[in-house]
Chain A
Amino acid sequence: MSTMLQRAGNGEGSTVLKQSPYKEKPRSFDRLFRTRLNNKMFRIICFSSIALLCIVLFSIILFIGRTGILAFQSVPAATFFLSTNWTPEDEQFGAGLFIYGTLALTALTLLISTPISVGIAVFLSEIAPDWVKKTVRPILDLLVGIPSVVYGYLGLTVLIPFLQNVFGQPIGEGLLAAALVLTLMTLPTIARVSDDSIVAVPKKYRDAAYALGSTRLQVITKIVLPAANRGIMSAVILGMARAIGETMAVVMVIGNSPIIAEGLFGATSVLTSNIVMQIMNVAFDSTWNYALYMMAFLLLLISLILIILIRVIRPKGEVNV
């Protein structure tokens, strides 16, 4: 953009100078000045874009936080965070069960997803022949791009009847169904990022280990995985962030009842699913509305903490490799 402007300015400038009838044209409008002006303008535009982004972002956080805090006017903070009685039509706002649901769902998802994803990553980077790498990696990248509502619909129409048949449960919705759907969604993220960090482990480490007579299993478990440890950690956190914030897929398979999950089957709710189910149906200036905003703010804080965690882990990992 800037170079284009500059070039146009140059060409125009030279012709104007030759043909200009105004001989007394001020010196300050020469080519150098205009180039500098262009550069300066470009810089100002870039800076103001960033400033705008920051302002928008902070106003969003501020707005959500401020609206959310209004909830504490009529609901004590302790009740909000610890009570599990969510019956907004009777003025009972206990978000504890949603916080519990969110944490339980995320933990269960990572429990299933991490071993599989890291297994895939190890296979792709250490074991698989080239043609497998070349086909599987794009497939994993493609899986990230499928809209989550599609995963949710597949979960609702394929996975849940399957779970009902296999486990003989009257209701298939619940933590397990949601965790399985989320596993499929976080798997490509975790696998690809871990894959990259395993590939980044220098070849000389492996060569040295092989030279000492290690088997491939020993090289992978004793050398490669510990060396790629921090990269894998940040991959897991990235997957976790996706699992916590995911809404559309979860809302279709979790059952959406404001009850603490009794085991893996049986409807329950998480923060995201409860917000999306109710936000359309609440009065604008009600405690109920504020409570939903508070839950959104809570989610925001959780993701923020995760992002900070990634930032803390990442640089150290790079120094290591």
Chain B
Amino acid sequence: MKLFNKFTAIVLASALVISAGATLTSAASSLSGKITVNGSSALLPMTLQAAKEFKKKNPRVRIAASGSGSITGPQSVKKGIADIGAVDWDASTSVPGFPAFSGQVATPVAVIPFAAIVNKNVSVDNLTSDQLKGIYTGKIKNWKEVGGADAAIVVVTRSFGSGTRVNFELKALGGTRIDEKASGSIAASNSGTMATTVGSKPNSIGYVDLPYIKGDIKALKFEGVEATTANIVNGKYKIWGTGYYMTAGQPTGATKAFIDYVTSKEFQQGSLKKLKFIPLASIKK
């Protein structure tokens, strides 16, 4: 009996404390709610940073963000388990291999720069779109065919469904699909593994987003243009993708406020740039 009384007392006391806490915070901000963000792991660092800053301004809004792969984003929105689906391409239109998600609104949030990369032992430092197409469809199998040394090309790719792969196929290969069987490629499970694999494997070629390029890999020039943010901004370098937030219909309430914050000048020119993404406003379309 005594035990039971103690237990009741504890429950009552904690209930009181919690309700008191709730009334205290409710005074701080008018905006409240819970936002769930799911999807692209490439956009996750940006989402987390934005969530941190947004929560400081709106303490009553709770934001849960996770990254498990681009296609998960719009799918979670479709299933109703996420308010925002982060994805590396515009999922309201169809892209090679993926149908459009109808009824969802895509809001562009950031520009993600990509580059074709090679191991540092490769002497080639520039490839055209056609040469990349040849390599990734198995028509070009030796570096000497593109002006390099006489060595077999080791092709590294990302598995089907990766946002990086979708963007690489769209922008660098002009919509051509990568052919694993013909090119004899090996697949890396994420950007980090891609960088490690290409870095540790002589004569290998791959592709990755710019922040990952360091160490034993070098970024290739594409059509003679160096892969830099400056060249993306001035429109010369073509391999980049746009990250989108997908919502079921037009965003409302806290979700809208959060997306507005992410696309605001304050965030785009500040934290977004520091995370090595490119602000949307910098790109001339």
Contacts and interface: CB of A to CB of B under 8 A. Distances in A.
B71 A157 contact: no
Contacts of A171: 154, 184, 186, 201
Contact of B189 (A89, A157, A164, A276): A276
A257 B158 CA distance: 10
Interface stretch (A35-43, A57-65, A277-285): A277-285
A267 B180 CA distance: 10
A170 B154 contact: yes
Nearest to A152: B193
A255 interface: yes
Given A12-B2, A161-B200, A266-B184, A277 B70 contact: no
A262 to B, nearest CB: 10
A297 to B, nearest CB: 21
A252 interface: yes
B200 A281 contact: no
A256 interface: yes
A282 B68 CA distance: 11
A255 B155 CA distance: 11
A241 to B, nearest CB: 24
Interface residues of B, number: 32
A259 interface: yes
Contacts of A258: 180-181
| Interface footprint category on A | 20 to 34
B180 A281 contact: no
Nearest to B160: A89
Nearest to A171: B154
B214 to A, nearest CB: 15
B228 interface: no
B196 A281 contact: no
B162 to A, nearest CB: 6
A256 B159 contact: yes
8 contacts: A157-B200, A160-B200, A160-B201, A257-B185, A276-B189, A281-B161, A282-B71, A284-B79
Interface of B: 2, 68-72, 75, 79, 97, 151-152, 154, 159-162, 177, 180-181, 184-189, 193, 196-197, 200-203
Given A266-B184, A281-B161, 4 more contacts: A156-B197, A156-B200, A251-B189, A281-B69
Nearest 4 interchain pairs by C-beta? A281-B161, A280-B69, A256-B187, A255-B186
